[in-house]
Structure 1
Amino acid sequence: MVAAPSTPKAVQRQWFSSDIAILCYLGLCKLLLHFATNHQYGYFGDELYYMAAGEHLDWGFAEGSPLTPAIANLSRWLLGDSLFAIRFFPAIAGACTVILTGLITRELGGGRLAQAIAAIAVILAPAYLFLQTVLTMNAFEPLLWALCAYLTLRILKTERLSLWAIAGVVAGIGLMNKFSIFFFILSLLLGILITPAHRLLFNRWLLLGSILALGLCAPTLLWQNNHHWPFLEHQRESNLYEKKGLLPSALDLILQQIILTNPAAVPVWASGLYYYLFTRDGKPYRALGWSYIIILGWFLFFEGRFYYLLPIYPMLLAAGAVFLEPKLQQFPTWKYITLLALLMSGLVLLPIGLPILPLNALIQYSNAVYRPPTLSKFDQENAAQAPWHFRLMLGWEDTVAQVAQVYQQLSPSDRADCALLAWSYDNAGAIDFFGPAYHLPKAISGHTGYYFWGPRDYSGKVVLSLGGNLTFLRQTFERVEPIAIVTHEKVVGLKSTLPLYLCKGIKRPLAESWPAFKFYFKLPTRNPITTAQP
């Protein structure tokens, strides 16, 4: 007998019950979670910087690549300047990461239970909740790394070498987002090289993929070269002034993987590493397990910050769910315990990743449950403060309003020629973003990417300096007068302060003095241009 053709309703039922549809529903849950919460608190300091960078689009920036500023520019053009608009594409990237994790699980042979476990683990990982709340380079890393892992998995499984070309395009886009993906790509290639799959490496398709990757990121590499490799200079200064030392960095990196991936998910991704490295079913994919070992070793050796490794976990969570699925199906009680543990642990840690608590409650929560480590060895923990990543969402417009109040008190002649000099990129970004509402001109700064945008058309005869080293300013200007203290309110009842200096009579034209303003981590304390012997 010939089977009757499927009716539209039957096709519809099959779609709604298919694996892909279920993964799309889980991705939608992730998306809605961000849409419901990403308007809280305020703009993240880096978001203000990337919006400013979007107004100076170029092929490169001091500390990275041009993709995030381009996305910031696109977000504002399409959707406006609201928090929802700026954070729209990070939320989309988060939803796609969930779906892609499920696809990796499915590709490894995982059923719906495995796909659900892996997807839920990604949805509730505190690290991904925060990284995909705000617009930074890190928002897109988990998606791009997972896509590289998925394509590598497909190559290992099907031996379709033409996929190297697609992988090259993804790698090129990843390099246009953040250079750290280079370590992941290299770890994958080394992982393949030391396994029997090395026969899949040396072919014209891998060469084509390499050419495509290099071609996509070539303009960024040329920009770096033409500007004397500021990225390397940035990393060197980070090592000198910000890194905490080998042992503290290693402890941070290892401990935070446990907390920020969700403690209940640790057995899942640890099982995934075991699956890749030691099981018969995982043998064809050994390279993925080795890639984790290799990149972990690199980040430990180079004192990588604890969040550098976080994008790699979707491929481990997928494999761990596949490894655990048959065992959980044999013992249904453990299936529900596993899902409940992921949900409960994720909900307990939800305030780490999402801005959902009132500030006072957030401080109490972070003191009682978890306080993320600071990034700098100079920052001190303070029980009266919110966690550092939420503090960077607070107080920016209030700071700009105070600067505007002082600016409006200047004489009309001084205002006509006044430059606003901010000594941190986030304060400069805040002035550029909030300033028009307060009738302020655009800011200048020597910090990171702002340095490369130059002193605009300001003469430097009159400068309002928000912060800065007093010795440097006195070497640069004939007269430096502290005229106000600007308070930046981090949380209710807790404030930091910056002096506001009125500087007049620049000793050398600002365009000529500008190289002395350049810095990445340590404020310049001496102006070698004005103090040089004639």
Structure 2
Amino acid sequence: MKRVLPLLFAVLKFISGFVLASRAYELQRDEYLYLDEGRHLAWGYLEVPPLIAAQAWVTQALGGDYFWVKFWPFLWGALTVYVVGRMAQKLGGGWFAVTLTCLCYCASGYARLNFLFQPNSFEVFGFTICCYWLLSYIQEERPKYLYFIGLGLGLSLLNKYTTFFFIAALVAGLLLSPQRSLLTNKHFWFAAGLTLLLFAPSLAWQLAHGIPFLHHMSELHDTQLVNVSAADFWKDQLVMCFPAVWVWVPGLLALFAYAPFRPYRSLGWVYAGGLLLLTVLHGKSYYSLGYYPVLFAFGAVWWERLLQSFRYGAFVRPVLVLVPLLMILPIVPFLFTLYPPAYMQVISAKYESLGLTRWEDGKVHPLPQDYADMIGWQELADKTYQAYQALPDSTRAFTLIKCDNYGQASAINYYNRHRVLPIANSFNGSYLFWFPARPTKPYRHLLLIGEGNPAGLVPHFRELRKVGEITNPYAREKGTTILLGNDPDAALIERAYREHKEALAVWEKEK
């Protein structure tokens, strides 16, 4: 019966994901990319390790519908809720501590994170369960927990490279606590070997392709992370987990100052080390979300013990568990896609000062970036298909669809997955690996999505004209055009394949 309460919150977390999602929005840009990676299984990609692609492969095999796309982030979110609830119980927490812990998770930024089919949901789950197993080892000193941690870290490395930061923070936490004795424990090193063994195929892929991870990090820093200041990073820490700030801050402090929690202070150092690394390296704000759930559990148990000595504790506890839900009310529209874009724009304007609509370019926009990235893709895919269908039957098969970015290509492929349409391609991201070989018969038609310099291409076609455009005013891709070029000359095709080769060489320059 002890597991019932955490399990109940896990089930509610999973179901709420579907209930609180407005279908006025489509999938998000990155979700389409990861779904397409499921069509090209490999041990690595330019953007991420292979675990998300394995999930995408299963999703595609099941038809690729909305339920199966969202199944994975909702699953990892539900499992994380269960783990933090069990963590509170392992610390001796009762119904109040478990309820408060689970509600802190459900009412914080994880509501939005666990909505998207991205590696982030598994990242949070992986970090949280590794902390749970470390806590279990500290309590019981059974070697199996070290191997569980090794397994969790190995799978996390196959999910996202930010796991290296967590591993660094974990090692620092061990060195700064009594658990430093683990460094002389053979099971610790065998567990580390298990982590390396699991990650080895992905590591081999990286080495074989010139370690594109390094180029990806450099590009990410120059285009996105450069806009992340330490002040904005820490302000976002308060915003993302604001409904639980009164729980996780005491939880962090208690790990260092509350005597019953001192055996676990290595977990406090994990948080401190991880956040320090992310601050110094200008990490995105949400990179830190995997470090907070453990603090919810410690903070909730600390509050429970504090209230046990309070005369009116029995009356205060039921009220306090409602606090995260009450605090979340003002930001509910930014956690769940409840409202259509027009109304969401009105709401966003009221919270501009919080930076919730600041995009990766560092500028403030009408909608949060994720919301704008969930609009216009079906329109693009349908118009591309209609343009293809309008081509002559005799030449339609000799068509190349070339997109400016991965979002365009992957969305076209997703929404046309049950239609007869050539695969959309791009020179962006992992699509560099999937660009088709030069055909034996020349292309008769080119559908160019998002081409920024159509005037320079006119001399290379018998005819070049616009046949479609994204018109949804709320779409991040608003204004993206669909150009149809008929009978491209050999010079243009030669240039396209040369540019593809050069673009791929940039990623594999270390090879």
- The amino acid that maps onto 1:121 is C
Instruction: State the secondary structure of the residue aligned to 1:500.
Output: strand
Instruction: State the secondary structure of the residue aligned to 2:480.
Output: strand
More off after superposition, 397-406 vs 135-144: 397-406
Normalised to the residue count of structure 1, the TM-score between the two structures is 0.86
1:250 and 2:244 matched = no
1:402 and 2:388 matched = no
Q: 2:373 matched to which residue of 1?
A: 392
Structure 2 segments unaligned to the other structure (5+ residues)? none
Task: Select the residue among 338, 358, 364 that pairs with 2:346.
Answer: 364
8 Å CA contact 2:96–2:321 kept in 1: the answer is no
- The amino acid that maps onto 1:150 is Y
Q: 2:414 matched to which residue of 1?
A: 433
Instruction: State the secondary structure of the residue aligned to 1:497.
Output: coil
More off after superposition, 266-275 vs 150-159: 150-159
In 2 relative to 1, CA 300–371 (structure 1 residues): closer, same or farther, beyond 3 Å?
closer
In 1, distance between residues paired with 2:296 and 2:180? 25
Q: CA deviation at 1:373?
A: 4.5
CA deviations 1:90-138 (Å, max 9, x no partner) are 111111111100111112222221111111111121x211111121111
In 2, distance between residues paired with 1:180 and 1:472? 42
8 Å CA contact 2:27–2:374 kept in 1: the answer is yes
CA deviations 1:477-498 (Å, max 9, x no partner) are 9449652174334556997112
8 Å CA contact 2:359–2:368 kept in 1: the answer is no
In 1, distance between residues paired with 2:297 and 2:79? 15
Q: CA deviation at 1:153?
A: 1.1
Aligned residues: 495
Q: 1:138 matched to which residue of 2?
A: 120
Q: 2:296 matched to which residue of 1?
A: 317
Task: Select the residue among 164, 175, 192 that pairs with 2:174.
Answer: 192
Q: 2:106 matched to which residue of 1?
A: 123
Q: 2:47 matched to which residue of 1?
A: 63
8 Å CA contact 2:450–2:482 kept in 1: the answer is yes
More off after superposition, 137-146 vs 407-416: 407-416
In 1, distance between residues paired with 2:437 and 2:135? 49
More off after superposition, 275-284 vs 508-517: 508-517
- The amino acid that maps onto 1:293 is A
Q: 2:280 matched to which residue of 1?
A: 301
- The amino acid that maps onto 2:448 is S
In 2, distance between residues paired with 1:317 and 1:174? 21
Instruction: State the secondary structure of the residue aligned to 1:43.
Output: coil
Alignment of 1:59-208 (within 5 A): 59-78=43-62, 80-125=63-108, 127-208=109-190
In 2 relative to 1, CA 151–436 (structure 1 residues): closer, same or farther, beyond 3 Å?
closer
Q: 2:32 matched to which residue of 1?
A: 48
In 1, distance between residues paired with 2:453 and 2:11? 52
Instruction: State the secondary structure of the residue aligned to 1:349.
Output: helix
Instruction: State the secondary structure of the residue aligned to 1:244.
Output: helix
Q: CA deviation at 1:471?
A: 8.7
In 2, distance between residues paired with 1:472 and 1:196? 68
- The amino acid that maps onto 1:270 is V
8 Å CA contact 1:448–1:518 kept in 2: the answer is no
Q: CA deviation at 1:276?
A: 1.0
1:34 and 2:25 matched = no
Q: 2:501 matched to which residue of 1?
A: 515
In 2 relative to 1, CA 502–75 (structure 1 residues): closer, same or farther, beyond 3 Å?
closer
In 1, distance between residues paired with 2:77 and 2:476? 33
In 2, distance between residues paired with 1:312 and 1:55? 32
In 1, distance between residues paired with 2:506 and 2:67? 30
Instruction: State the secondary structure of the residue aligned to 1:87.
Output: helix
More off after superposition, 348-357 vs 478-487: 478-487
Task: Select the residue among 252, 273, 277 that pairs with 1:273.
Answer: 252
- The amino acid that maps onto 2:233 is L
Task: Select the residue among 332, 350, 364 that pairs with 1:350.
Answer: 332
Q: 1:528 matched to which residue of 2?
A: none
More off after superposition, 450-459 vs 165-174: 450-459
In 1, distance between residues paired with 2:165 and 2:106? 25
8 Å CA contact 2:113–2:120 kept in 1: the answer is yes
Q: CA deviation at 1:502?
A: 4.1
In 2 relative to 1, CA 506–305 (structure 1 residues): closer, same or farther, beyond 3 Å?
farther
1:230 and 2:212 matched = yes
Instruction: State the secondary structure of the residue aligned to 1:61.
Output: coil
8 Å CA contact 1:171–1:213 kept in 2: the answer is yes
Q: 1:7 matched to which residue of 2?
A: none
Structure 1 segments unaligned to the other structure (5+ residues)? 1-14, 522-534
More off after superposition, 449-458 vs 321-330: 449-458
In 2, distance between residues paired with 1:140 and 1:120? 19
In 2 relative to 1, CA 441–111 (structure 1 residues): closer, same or farther, beyond 3 Å?
same
Q: CA deviation at 1:468?
A: 3.5
In 2, distance between residues paired with 1:494 and 1:158? 52
Normalised to the residue count of structure 2, the TM-score between the two structures is 0.90
In 2 relative to 1, CA 164–20 (structure 1 residues): closer, same or farther, beyond 3 Å?
same
In 2 relative to 1, CA 472–241 (structure 1 residues): closer, same or farther, beyond 3 Å?
farther
Q: CA deviation at 1:472?
A: 11
CA deviations 1:124-163 (Å, max 9, x no partner) are 21x2111111211112111111111011111222222342
Instruction: State the secondary structure of the residue aligned to 2:53.
Output: helix
Q: CA deviation at 1:196?
A: 2.2
In 2, distance between residues paired with 1:371 and 1:351? 14
Percent identity of the aligned residues?
A: 27
More off after superposition, 453-462 vs 287-296: 453-462
In 2 relative to 1, CA 116–299 (structure 1 residues): closer, same or farther, beyond 3 Å?
same
8 Å CA contact 2:372–2:474 kept in 1: the answer is no
CA deviations 1:506-530 (Å, max 9, x no partner) are 4227555422345999xxxxxxxxx
Q: CA deviation at 1:50?
A: 1.2
- The amino acid that maps onto 2:275 is L
1:259 and 2:239 matched = yes
Instruction: State the secondary structure of the residue aligned to 2:401.
Output: strand
In 1, distance between residues paired with 2:464 and 2:230? 42
In 1, distance between residues paired with 2:496 and 2:478? 29
1:20 and 2:6 matched = no
CA deviations 1:51-76 (Å, max 9, x no partner) are 11101011101011111111111123
1:212 and 2:194 matched = yes
More off after superposition, 51-60 vs 67-76: 67-76
Q: CA deviation at 1:436?
A: 4.5
8 Å CA contact 1:146–1:314 kept in 2: the answer is yes
Instruction: State the secondary structure of the residue aligned to 2:225.
Output: coil
- The amino acid that maps onto 1:29 is L
Instruction: State the secondary structure of the residue aligned to 2:400.
Output: strand
8 Å CA contact 1:451–1:517 kept in 2: the answer is yes
